[in-house]
């Protein structure tokens, strides 16, 4: 290693019982999506980075491999191809483009697919301020997403309060909790297990999808806190117990 060079982040050593999940990240070339791609690939899951522009997806794949190593479990594709046959799809796009994105991927989502919507409906989508909140008529962006996907697709709201900068800082654990809501308990648990496979992160079961009407608004609150304290990565930790997950208990992560 040349003098002053930054060491390559080490990927997680997986136990023999680790379950690899095929995850597609729509909007994976953006800050949040790319950060999730890095963390999930580093944890050992296979990640497909989706983009409207396949060339941008390929460039992000190259960047992940540059950071994690040439054998990193990641590939890229246009959004519709990226979600085809994937059991978990994470959508990380601005609210202004949310409906259009679902319009391009909905017919490619099979029944049983878990779609994780990370959209926060902020005023910047209509030319306003990012720390102001919009209210979709469905109640939340996650509920809007649920109205745009076929029957049988399970929508979960998550990652609204996780800073992209924290996700991309692979030399540090992510000191944040992820608030997860959705109407299907099994889908919430699957997404939570992915969260638990990211060092430092925990997930909190926040119940039905309509709770996204609350969790999505917390993004605007964090933007305000970051502005006032000149921060980049404010987040949430929920106190009261050492571990969260399902209220009845759940083995930590997909590695058991």
102-148 confidence digits (pLDDT tens)? 999 999 999 999 999 999 988 676 677 777 878 888 999 999 999 99
Q: Which helix (H) or strand (E) holds 64?
A: helix 54-68
**More confident: 89 or 242:** 89
- The residue among 138, 152, 169 whose CA lies nearest residue 34 is 169
**More confident: 191 or 127:** 191
Tell me the pLDDT of the chain averaged across its residues: 90
Task: Extract the tokens encoding 95.
Answer: 């609210």
- The residue among 91, 82, 81, 73 whose CA lies nearest residue 197 is 73
pTM of the entire structure? 0.90
161-180 confidence digits (pLDDT tens)? 999 999 999 999 999 999 99
Whether 145 and 155 have beta carbons less than 8 Å apart is answered as yes
CATH topology of domain 22-229: Rossmann fold (3.40.50)
Whether 83 and 52 have beta carbons less than 8 Å apart is answered as no
Per-residue pLDDT at 122: 81
* Cα–Cα distance for residue pair 148/84, rounded to 1 Å: 17
Task: Extract the tokens encoding 213.
Answer: 């009407």
Other CB atoms closer than 10 Å to residue 24's CB: what's the count?
Answer: 30
Per-residue pLDDT at 13: 58
Residue whose token pair is 């990193």 = 72
Per-residue pLDDT at 249: 52
Other CB atoms closer than 10 Å to residue 241's CB: what's the count?
Answer: 9
Cα-based angle 65, 161, 61 (whole degrees, multiple of 5): 15
* Cα–Cα distance for residue pair 231/209, rounded to 1 Å: 30
Task: Extract the tokens encoding 183.
Answer: 């109407």
- Lowest-confidence segment of 28-42, 49-63, 119-133, 148-162 by average pLDDT: 119-133
Whether 181 and 157 have beta carbons less than 8 Å apart is answered as yes
What angle, 0 to 180 degrees and rounded to 10, lies between the N-to-C axes of helices 98-105 and 141-148? 30
Task: Extract the tokens encoding 168.
Answer: 């991309």
Query: Can you give the residue ranges of every domain in the chain?
Result: 22-229
Per-residue pLDDT at 248: 66
Give 153's DSSP letter: P
Q: Which residues pair with 75 in a beta bridge?
A: 48
């Amino acid at each position: 290693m040349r003098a002053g060079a930054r060491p390559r982040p080490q990927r997680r050593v997986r136990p023999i019982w680790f379950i690899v999940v095929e995850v597609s990240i729509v909007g994976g070339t953006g800050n949040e999506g790319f950060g999730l791609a890095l963390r999930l690939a580093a944890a050992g899951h296979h990640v497909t980075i989706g983009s409207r522009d396949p060339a941008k997806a390929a460039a992000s794949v190259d960047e992940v491999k540059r950071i994690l190593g040439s054998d990193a479990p990641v590939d890229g594709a246009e959004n519709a191809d990226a979600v085809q046959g994937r059991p978990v799809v994470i959508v990380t796009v601005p609210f202004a483009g949310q409906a259009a994105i679902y319009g391009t991927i909905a017919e490619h989502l099979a029944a049983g697919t878990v779609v994780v919507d990370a959209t926060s409906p902020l005023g910047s989508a209509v030319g306003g301020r990012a720390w102001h909140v919009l209210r979709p008529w469905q109640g939340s962006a996650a509920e809007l997403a649920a109205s745009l996907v076929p029957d049988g697709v399970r929508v979960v709201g998550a990652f609204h309060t996780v800073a992209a900068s924290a996700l991309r800082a692979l030399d540090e654990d992510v000191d944040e909790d992820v608030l997860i809501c959705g109407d299907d308990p099994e889908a919430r648990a699957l997404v939570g297990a992915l969260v638990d496979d990211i060092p430092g992160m925990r997930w909190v079961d926040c119940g039905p999808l309509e709770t996204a009407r609350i969790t999505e608004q917390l993004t605007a609150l964090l933007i305000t806190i970051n502005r006032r304290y000149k921060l980049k990565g404010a987040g949430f930790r929920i106190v009261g117990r050492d571990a969260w997950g399902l209220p009845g208990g759940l083995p930590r992560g997909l590695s058991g």
